[in-house]
Amino acid sequence: MKYLLPIIALLVLRQPLLGQSQAPSAASNATSQGHLTGTVLHATSKQPVEFATVALLNQVSGVVVASSVCDTGGKFSFSKVVAGEYKLSITFVGFETKVVEHIQVGSSGAPKLETILLLPTAQQLGEVKVTGERELIENKADRLVYNAEKDQSNTGGTTADLLKKVPMLSLDPDGNPELRGSTSVRVLINGKPSGMLANNIADALRRLPADQVKSVEVITSPSAKYDAEGSGGIINIILKKNAASGTTGSFTGTVGNMNNSLNTSLNSRRGKLAVTSELGLAAYYNRYRSVIRRTDVLAPAEFAELNQRTFTRNYNQGLTGRLNLDYDLTEKDVLTLGANTELFRYRGTRTVASSYLAPGVLDEVYRRDIEWPYANNRFPSVDVNAGYTHTGKRPRQELSVLGLLSTSVGRQAYFLDQTRGEGIDYRETNVNTSRNRELTLQVDYAQPTDSTGLLEVGSKAILRTAGSDYVIEADSLDGRGLVLVPSRSNQFDYNQDVYAGYLSYGFSLRKVYSFKAGTRVEHTRVTGDFVSTEASVRQQYTNIIPNLLFSRDFGANTAQKLKVSYTRRIQRPSIWLLNPYLNVNNGRSASSGNPNLRAELTDAYELGYSTSHKSSTLNLSGYWRQTNNAIQNVSTTLPARDIFPDDTTNTSVLYNTFQNVARRSTYGLSVTGSTKPNPKWTLNATVNAFYLTVKSPLLNVGNRGLMYNGNLSSAWTFEHGYSFQASMYVNSRRIFLQGNGNGFQTHTLSVKKELFEKKGSLTLNLENPFSRTILFRADLAVPDSYSLRSDTYAYNRAIRLSFNYQFGATSSDPARPRKSIRNDDQKKGEGGS
């Protein structure tokens, strides 16, 4: 209950404030006041335009005097307006802005304006007419939005490449997303979890074509309405969707040395039914080589040396499909149905040359050839969602009931041949079948308390089930053939249920102050049974998650905003971090999860400032995140006999696991800006710098340092349909509990030519044309135990040519509210795996 006090206090304190603002002073009583009413209709259908925003401005200065929202009948009214001359500005999504000039308001009666007709924005593709244009980067009250469709260098690329250009985001060496340096983030697609992300987020982002992405939302201080999981925040990838009347479609084909794709879409809206469909084929190639050098301290002045060289090639190919239906049951009731599917398979090869030199160890020099064939490696997934939304009589009054079923299965297998000297002395096969199912049910209700106040309540249940059967069979060429290896085989079943409820209230004062406060309660139950180790996990815990948000608009035309926020976040360990199964990568390294891991809690504070002037915008944000029981990847050396009971040597094995052993503090500053020096030239830049301190008193180890990342892009539009864009991304060194990683940079050049009266386009993209590979280096060390250097060279020089063609014609209708489920939880670990 103590976390509900801020909400109650705001409600109580607000009453006298409202009373003061509504009670006219003696001066105002002496001034003549009048009233103004009107009705807004669709210019074509003559239907009321619900929720259109109506602003009353001073005719001479243009300063906003008052604002209102149309009701369900399209009507609006202003009361107690000081007599004078005004003008009205009416805006709504999908319509052209309407301005009514020279409106006289007096004290005698209430002048009623003639019916105001709003014209829908025309979108005839053969005759393009631009009535408004979004900026590449938008700063909203609770999130930052990167409008990916405005960035031509994304054409033909992958979503993984696209995320590098999003402010505050970066990718770790494995391709997993980071937000302000934190890997504890949740990635959503259209506000919902997706089965395509269940197995490997990095691979899923490489498979998803950037042409399908409309925008990316970065939410650093989520309100109580959002799931509490994700100490770093939420990354929401919005896919393209056309809700306009008529029929449209598009075709995009890309050829390149790193990825090829073919995407088609068909969108139609007739009356009450809107259908969005998409089908895509894609293939991408990934190759890299790595060198690992490790020194183990066996005893004082006694060392062992491990040297490994690896070369890997991966090939992914498959298809994605989407189908969404929106049906208007009535003017106030909307039903949505949707399904997403992905069917991918991959093949790959890896060659490992390894040598381990230690006193008393002979002939530990070998080569391993590993193959993952197409036939045995496939990962299908299906997401099915349904929702019902009822809009009340009052603006912003809404009830929604949502459901989502997300399923994925996988089958992965490899074949390994080990060579010593001149012949093969060992063979190994692996088959891993996995399954994931997630059922989500959610109810939300929003009730306006007055013209600015909004009370939101809701509940949610997320029911997760996962399982895996991991089998290793080995052949030592002794005549027995393939034999099951029980110690390296694993089977588990895992369930995680999260039940949540929230209460949130927000309101505005004097048109410049905004407040929002809320509390979310989440109860978690975890059960896991691990057959191979006879271990189990049983956890139950309840967390109370408060949040506060305050903002103030000021300056000329309120173009400046100051924002302060606080929220608490929780990070639950996923099954991959809890699984105690011992994974032996080779004879000298091993890893396992930790079934005793606890959820980590993070307190996040943020102070933001934004301003705009003409064609320039600037956003600054200072933040502090504190986690006292942080989950960290911990590596140490163990005697080889602890891992392999038959080992009689005095050698070591590097063992990796996860523990709640650290305090992690992050102090940072993000700066994002954009400007247009002239109408044809656009510049965008973002820099995120933060100081990280991570320390483990239990292990008596710690690390700290300054890190940063940022990107700069410049776009120029020429005559005759040509445009050019250049961008650069920079990421500094990385700080780990037990070491550091190096920094790197990438750059992209793009040229685009519009064709067929702007119905089509041809785009050429060059990525990293001046460097063949990107080096990812990690240096880890524990005094008197081991030191390790890992160098990975990722081949990243890419060229691709993309052709896009659009057809059809549309006319926009008023946008209807569409609700979707947002699941933003579960820690994926330092590497996201």
- At residue 813, does pLDDT exceed 60? no
> Under CATH, what is the fold of the domain 137-811?
Maltoporin; Chain A (2.40.170)
Q: Which tens digit of pLDDT belongs to each residue from 164-191?
A: 777 777 776 666 787 776 666 777 777 6
Query: What is 34-120's CATH number, 2.40.50.140, 1.10.3760.10, 3.40.228.10, 2.60.40.1120?
Result: 2.60.40.1120
Distance of alpha carbon 692 from alpha carbon 663, whole angstroms: 11
Q: Can you tell me the distance from the alpha carbon of 270 to that of 286, in angstroms, rounded to the nearest whole number?
A: 43
287-296, 640-649, 757-766: the lowest-pLDDT one: 640-649
What integer pLDDT is reported at residue 134 of this predicted model?
58
Q: Does the pLDDT value for residue 556 go beyond 90?
A: no
| pLDDT the model gives residue 181 | 64
- Predicted confidence (pLDDT) at residue 831 exceeds the cutoff of 70: no
What is the share, in percent, of the chain residues with pLDDT greater than 90? Answer: 35
Q: Are 595 and 578 in contact (CB under 8 A)?
A: yes
pLDDT in tens, 301-354: 889 999 999 999 999 999 999 898 989 898 889 899 999 898 989 899 999 999
**Whole-Å CA distances, 773 to 95, 286, 290, 451, 817:** 48, 12, 12, 57, 46
How far apart are alpha carbons 263 and 278 in whole angstroms? 7
Identity of residue 712: L
Check residue 4 and give its pLDDT.
Answer: 45
Per DSSP, what are the bridge partners of residue 380?
343
Looking at residue 56, what is its pLDDT? Answer: 86
The candidate with the shortest Cα–Cα distance to 142, out of 558, 676, 518, 686, is 518
Give the pLDDT score at 265: 87
108 three-class SS? coil
| Residues 760, 753: Cα–Cα separation, whole Å | 9
Contacts of 199 (CB under 8 A, 6+ apart): 379, 408, 410, 434, 436
Confidence of residue 814 (pLDDT cuts 50, 70, 90): very low
Mean pLDDT across 503-527:
92
User: What 3-state DSSP class applies to 292?
Assistant: strand
pLDDT, one tens digit per residue, over 263-276 is 998 888 787 888 88
More confident residue, 200 or 124: 200
Three-state secondary structure of 14-73: HHHHHHHHHCCCHHHHCCCEEEEEEEEEECCCCCECCCCEEEEEECCCCCEEEEEECCCC
Q: Which residue reads 């399908």 in tokens?
A: 212
CB crowding 543-574: b at 16 or more within 10 Å, else e: bebbbbbebebeeeeeebbebebbbbbbbbbb
- List 601's β-bridge partners, or say none: 570
CA 503 to chain centre: 24
- Quote the pLDDT of residue 69: 79
- The string of DSSP codes covering 516-539 is EEEEEEEEEEEEEEETTTTEEEEE
Measure the CA–CA gap between 626 and 606, rounded to whole angstroms.
12
Three-state SS for 12?
Answer: helix
The answer to whether residues 436 and 496 touch, using CB atoms and an 8 Å cutoff, is: no
Q: Where are the alpha helices (DSSP H) in 540-630?
A: 575-578
**In this structure, are residues 4 and 46 in contact, taking their beta carbons and an 8 Å threshold?**
no
Domain map (residue ranges) of the chain = 34-120, 137-811
Q: What's residue 196's pLDDT?
A: 57
Would you state the pLDDT for residue 114? 79
Encode pLDDT of 651-683 as tens digits.
889 999 999 988 999 999 999 888 888 888 888
Specify whether the CB–CB gap between 631 and 608 falls below 8 A: no
Output DSSP code: residue 476: -
- Which residue, 173, 153, 163, 274, is CA-closest to 217? 163
Model pLDDT for residues 728-771, shown as the tens digit of each residue: 989 999 999 999 999 999 999 999 998 988 888 999 999 999 88
User: Of 61-70, 242-251, 664-673, 698-707, which gets the smallest average pLDDT?
Assistant: 242-251
Residue of 764, 749, 752 whose CA lies nearest to 717? 752
74 — pLDDT class (breaks 50, 70, 90): confident
